[in-house]
Amino acid sequence: MKKEFVKNMPWGIIAGICAMSVFFLTVALIIVSLILGGVAAQTNETAGLFSEWYQTLMFVFDIIFVLGLAGSIVMYVFREKKKIGGESEV
């Protein structure tokens, strides 16, 4: 039951969702850092990557989606390799 579930998962779609999430979260982190850096420069303060809670949350989600992307690509390659190799599916 568990092998069939893993075998039938749409790993390509999951990889695509993770890739888009990583891209947009990374862009958002960069934009937020630039905006907060500009505000901090005008007010004579400092701003870092983890200075606000939402920056930390975006970074954590970014790392989670990077790991999900890597895992789903590996699973997709293993599934396609078995299809191409013609191994017997037991």
11 located within any domain: no
5-57: per-residue pLDDT in tens?
A: 777 889 999 999 999 999 999 999 999 999 999 999 999 988 888 888 999 99
- Report which of residues 3 and 31 the model is more confident about: 31
pLDDT value of residue 2 = 72
In a domain, 32, yes or no: yes
Q: Is 6 among the domain residues?
A: no
Q: How far apart are CA 12 and CA 19, in angstroms?
A: 10
In single-letter form, the type of residue at position 46 comes to: T
Number of domains in the chain: 1
Does residue 1 register a pLDDT over 70?
A: no
In a domain, 1, yes or no: no
Domain interval for residue 34? 16-85
Beta carbons of 73 and 15 less than 8 angstroms apart? yes
**Is 80 part of a structural domain of the chain?**
yes
Within-domain flag for 59:
yes
Q: Does the residue 10 lie in any domain?
A: no
Judged by DSSP in three states, 10 sits in coil
DSSP 52: S
Task: Name the more confident of 11 and 86.
Answer: 11
